[in-house]
Amino acid sequence: MADESNAAPVAAAVATDAEVKAPTAKKRRSRPPQKAASEPAQSKPPAAKRRGYSEQEKSEKLKQIETQVSDGNTLKDAIKSAGISEQTYYHWKGAAKPAAQKGTKGPKPLP
């Protein structure tokens, strides 16, 4: 009969644990209200506006940077004065390099 007296408190403990561990519903975030269509859209400042350059403009800017560097300016300053980022400069320079090499013919391969 000793087993019966031990089982009662254990059963009560299991029942209280089940009540404590009851799953709770997750909170859902509400979406922010959408702007009305009648409101005018905020325009970006001109500096942030993305602009595409033509091939002629790209080559002119690359030449401008080269001349400024040859005159003694740093590459960083020359790129800034051209109005482009360093990443854009290297991208353009890499794209222009293979095009310039295509026109020149190297030595013939040995048989």
Q: Tell me whether residue 86 is in a domain.
A: yes
> 69, 78 in Cβ contact below 8 A?
yes
What pLDDT is attached to residue 25?
75
| pLDDT tens by residue, 40-53 | 555 555 555 666 89
User: 36 or 97: which carries more pLDDT confidence?
Assistant: 97
Domain count of the chain?
1
* Each residue's pLDDT tens digit, 58-80: 999 999 999 999 999 999 999 99
Could you tell me the pTM of the whole model?
0.46
Query: Which residue range is the domain that position 62 belongs to?
Result: 54-101
C-alpha 29/C-alpha 39 separation (Å) is: 25
- The answer as to whether 82 is a domain residue is yes
Closest by CA to 84, choosing from 111, 60, 67, is 60
Q: Of 80, 87, 55, which is closest to residue 65 (Cα–Cα)?
A: 80
